[in-house]
Amino acid sequence: LALIVQKFGGSSVRDNDRIRHVAQLVVAEKQRGNDVIVAVSAMGKTTNNLVAMAREFSAEPPAREMDMLLASGEQISIAMLAIALHSMGHKAISFTGPQVGIKTDSLHGRARIVGINDAKLRDAIGDGKIVIVAGFQGVTGDLEITTLGRGGSDTTGVALAAALQADRCDIYTDVDGVYTADPRAVPSAQRLNFITYDEMLELASVGAKVLHSRAVELAKIYNVPLRVLSSFEPGPGTMIVQEYKDMEKFVVSGVAIDESESQISILGVPDRPGVAASIFKQIAEAGISVDMIIQDVGTDDLNDISFTVDNEDFKAAKELAEQLKEQLGAGGVVTEEGVAKISVVGVGMKSHSGVAAKLFGALASADIGIKSITTSEICVSCLIDIDSAKKAANAIHEAFGLGNPPQISAKT
Ligand code: ADP
Ligand code: ASP
Ligand code: MG
C-alpha cells in the first residue's frame, strides 16, 4: 500500500463542477489501492479577492490580520471537497493547517514550516479516510495563524509528503506539466518529461510560478518524488528528479519571467569601504529582501548602487533609500516601479560556455535594453523593461532552440 499526496491548486477547485472532478481524481487514486492525503488551495481567485477587499481599507493591512483573512480561503475549499466526497459515498475528513499541527515560524505572510505533527493524520488514514488538509497555512508556537506566501499550498503538499514519507507528491494544476517557459507567454514552449530539483528550484525562484520554490527545496532535501500534472486532462506530467539520462544534452532547460520586481538606485554614494555593507545591513534589518545588486563605478570617488526588491516591498525600500541618501550624503535616489527579470536556467551551463553571450545576443536582436545582470552556476538573469518581457521570453526561447528540445524518455 502506497501513500500518495495530491495537491490541487485554485483553478482546479474553482467551482463545484471542478471540485466534483477533483473528488473523482482523489477516489481514483484511492481505488488504485493507495492511501491518499489531499492538500487544497483556495477556490479560484478567492485569495486575490480577499487581498483586494482588505486593501480597500488600507494599503498595508496588519500582517497578522491578513493571515487570519487569507487562511479562511482554504478552509472553504477543504470542507467543500470533503462534502463532495461524502456525497459520493466516500469517507473523508478535512483539517486546517493548525488542526494537524503544521507548525511554522512567526513571519506572517511568508512563514516557513518547521514541523508537522503527524499523529492526527495517521489516525485518520488508519481509519480508512481520505484526509484533506488546507494548503498555504500553519500555526506558530503561540497559536497564531500564519500563511506561507503566495503559491504556498505546493509547499504544504510537499511538507506533508516529507513528514509522512509518502511515496509520491502529485501537484495537480491547470497546465499538464513543467514547460520550457510559461506556455501562456511563450506559445512554442514544450512540456518537459523530466527536470532536476536544482533546475526546478532555480526556475521557481526566478519567477516560474508553476511551483512554489520552498516546495521544491523541501522535495530535494527530503527526496520526495514530485510530479506536476494537469487536473483538467490526463497525461504523464513532469517528474522532478535528482538527475536524468542524457542530461548533458540540455544546456538550458527553461526560461522564466518575473514581473514582480522594482529597481531602486542610490546615486553618488561616497566610495568608502563599508558603505555597501551599511546600506544592505539596514535594508535587511527592515525585513526587505533584495534580489539583484549592481554597483556602477562612477567618477570622483562616487558610485551608484542599484538593487531590486519585490513590488510588495517597493514603498518601504524607497523610503529607506531616501533615508540612506541623507545618512551617507549621497547624490539622489532614482526608482523604477515594475520591471521584469528574464532568466535562463539549465544544469548544462556548468560545462558549456557562451550561455550569457547568447542571451544578450537574443535581447539585442529583439532591440531590448538590459538594466542589470546576475548569474549563478545554473542561471543567468537580466533586468529589462516590463513591456518587453513577453517579447524577450520568446526571443530567448527561440535563440536556445527550446521549441524543439531533445526529448528524453527515461530517467537514469
Ligand atoms: P495553481 O493554482 O494550480 O497552484 P499556478 O497558477 O500557481 O497554479 O501555477 C500554474 C501556472 O504557472 C500555469 O498556468 C502557467 O501559466 C504558469 N507557469 C509559469 N512558468 C511555467 C512553466 N515553466 N511551466 C508551466 N507553467 C508555468
Ligand atoms: N491560495 C494561496 C494563493 O493564492 C495559496 C496557493 O494557491 O498556493 O497564493
Ligand atoms: Mg500555485
Query: Tens digit of pLDDT for each residue in 154-209?
Result: 999 999 999 999 999 999 999 999 999 999 999 999 999 999 999 999 999 999 99
- Is it the case that residue 406 has pLDDT exceeding 70? no
Residue with cell 545576443: 361
For a substitution probing ligand 1, which of 22, 173, 260 has the most ligand atoms within 8 Å of its CB? 173
For a substitution probing ligand 1, which of 182, 190, 232 has the most ligand atoms within 8 Å of its CB? 182
For a substitution probing ligand 2, which of 43, 47, 70 has the most ligand atoms within 8 Å of its CB? 47
Q: Name which of 45, 225, 26, 226 is nearest 133 in CA terms.
A: 26
Confidence of residue 300 (pLDDT cuts 50, 70, 90): confident
- Is it the case that residue 139 has pLDDT exceeding 70? yes
Q: Name which of 41, 54, 64 is nearest 145 in CA terms.
A: 64
3-33 residue pLDDT tens: 999 999 999 999 999 999 999 999 999 999 9
31-56 residue pLDDT tens: 999 999 999 999 999 999 999 999 99
CA of 283 to the centre of ligand 1 (A): 31
CA of 156 to the centre of ligand 2 (A): 11
The mean pLDDT value of the chain amounts to 95
Q: Looking at the CA of 344, which ligand is closest?
A: 1
Q: Name which of 129, 357, 104, 121 is nearest 251 in CA terms.
A: 357
Confidence of residue 405 (pLDDT cuts 50, 70, 90): low
CA of 182 to the centre of ligand 1 (A): 7
3-state DSSP of 157-223? HHHHHHHCCCCEEEEEECCCCCECCCCCCCCCCCECCEEEHHHHHHHHHCCCCCCCHHHHHHHHHCC
Output the pLDDT for position 196.
Answer: 94
- The reply to whether ligand 1 has any atom less than 6 angstroms from the CB of 190 is no
- Is it the case that residue 336 has pLDDT exceeding 60? yes
* Residues found in the chain: 412
Helix (H, G, I), strand (E, B) or coil at 145: strand
Output the pLDDT for position 245.
Answer: 78
- The reply to whether ligand 1 has any atom less than 6 angstroms from the CB of 208 is yes
Question: Mean of the pLDDT values across residues 225-240?
Answer: 97
- The reply to whether ligand 1 has any atom less than 6 angstroms from the CB of 181 is yes
Output the pLDDT for position 410.
Answer: 60
- The reply to whether ligand 1 has any atom less than 6 angstroms from the CB of 350 is no
Output the pLDDT for position 408.
Answer: 60
- The reply to whether ligand 1 has any atom less than 6 angstroms from the CB of 378 is no
Beta bridge partners of 258: 341
3-state DSSP of 300-343? CCEEEEEEEEEHHHHHHHHHHHHHHHHHHCCCEEEEEEEEEEEE
- Report yes or no: 411 and 243 within 8 Å, Cβ to Cβ: yes
Question: Mean of the pLDDT values across residues 113-118?
Answer: 96
Q: How many CB atoms lie within 10 A of CB 56?
A: 7
Confidence of residue 249 (pLDDT cuts 50, 70, 90): confident
Question: Mean of the pLDDT values across residues 388-410?
Answer: 86
Q: Looking at the CA of 8, which ligand is closest?
A: 1
CA of 81 to the centre of ligand 2 (A): 16
Confidence of residue 409 (pLDDT cuts 50, 70, 90): low
For a substitution probing ligand 1, which of 209, 211, 345 has the most ligand atoms within 8 Å of its CB? 209
- Is it the case that residue 412 has pLDDT exceeding 80? no
User: Which residues, 6+ apart, have CB-to-CB distance to 139 below 8 Å?
Assistant: 97, 98, 101, 102, 103, 104, 145, 146
C-alpha 134/C-alpha 46 separation (Å) is: 14
Lowest mean pLDDT among 15-29, 60-74, 232-246: 232-246
Taking CB atoms within 8 Å and a gap of at least 24, the contacts of 45-54 are 45/10, 45/14, 46/10, 46/73, 46/76, 46/77, 47/10, 47/73, 47/136, 47/150
**Residue type at position 235:** G
Confidence of residue 411 (pLDDT cuts 50, 70, 90): low
Name the percent of the chain lying above pLDDT 90.
89
Residue with cell 495563524: 145
The pairing of beta strand 194-196 with beta strand 238-241: parallel
Of 246 and 364, the one with more pLDDT: 364
Q: pTM for the complete prediction?
A: 0.94
Output the pLDDT for position 296.
Answer: 85
**Residue type at position 108:** H
